[in-house]
């Protein structure tokens, strides 16, 4: 694979991974509400789900599964509904609520990635746009999806870091920040459904 193709793959991956998406926004919101320690289970769920979904994308692109296109069609709407629910939950969330302990769970983060259409499209597009012209070997596809998941995890970690940096500001202005985050998630829903 030529170096410029690998470079383009990385540029595409970095831009896609660092732009706002459901996982990044949920991570930012969780760390500002709960802090790093209480949010850690959710972050681990997001990271784990990212890797699993990218491995599913590698298998799909390899051609083993013919059911995934139908599943992606359904997941588009399931994902939109779930992201809409997250937007409402974030918009009306209060960092002083007693139920905060339960909200930052591993499974919430993990399952988010399974309905996060952005990362499916990200993984499939990256492989079909940059890799499959040079190799369709399963181990090569899995390697590149692993790279994508690692870049995605680094991006989400950066969003978590940003959340830690603004945590004091957030606690003073949480309603405004939550509304901005919720509107950003609603834009994600709009982009999924258009």
The domain of 92 spans 3-193
The proportion of the chain whose per-residue pLDDT surpasses 70, expressed as a percent, equals 84
Residue 12 is classified by DSSP as H
Distance CA 150, CA 16 (A): 13
The contacts of residue 193 (CB under 8 Å, 6+ apart) are 76, 77, 80
- The answer on pLDDT for 69 being more than 80 is no
pTM: 0.75
Residue 193 pLDDT: 73
Own/partner contacts of 85-92, CB < 8 Å, gap of 24 or more, are 86/22, 86/25, 86/26, 86/112, 86/185, 87/181, 87/182, 87/183, 87/185, 87/186, 87/189, 88/182, 90/25, 90/26, 90/29, 90/178, 90/181, 90/182, 90/185, 91/178, 91/179, 91/181, 91/182, 92/178
* End-to-end Cα, the chain, rounded Å: 35
Tell me how many domains the chain contains. 1
Can you list the positions of beta strands (E) in the chain? none
What pLDDT is stored for residue 48 in this prediction? Answer: 96
Lowest mean pLDDT among 23-32, 92-101, 127-136, 138-147: 92-101
pLDDT tens-place string over residues 96-131: 654 454 567 899 889 889 888 888 888 888 887 788
């Amino acid at each position: 694979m030529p170096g410029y193709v690998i470079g383009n793959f990385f540029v595409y991956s970095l831009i896609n991974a660092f732009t706002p998406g459901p996982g990044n926004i949920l991570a930012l919101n969780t760390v500002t509400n709960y802090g790093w320690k209480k949010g850690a289970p959710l972050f681990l769920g997001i990271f784990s789900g990212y890797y699993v979904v990218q491995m599913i994308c590698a298998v799909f692109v390899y051609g083993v599964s013919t059911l995934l296109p139908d599943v992606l069609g359904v997941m588009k709407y399931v994902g939109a509904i779930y992201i809409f629910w997250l937007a409402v939950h974030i918009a009306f969330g209060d960092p002083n609520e007693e139920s905060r302990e339960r909200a930052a769970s591993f499974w919430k983060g993990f399952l988010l990635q399974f309905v996060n259409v952005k990362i499916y499209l990200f993984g499939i597009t990256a492989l079909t746009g940059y890799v499959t012209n040079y190799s369709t070997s399963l181990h090569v596809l899995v390697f590149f999806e692993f790279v994508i998941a690692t870049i995605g995890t680094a991006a989400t970690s950066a969003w978590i870091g940003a959340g830690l940096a603004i945590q004091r500001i957030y606690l003073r202005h949480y309603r405004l920040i939550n509304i901005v985050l919720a509107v950003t998630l609603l834009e994600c829903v709009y982009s999924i459904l258009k």
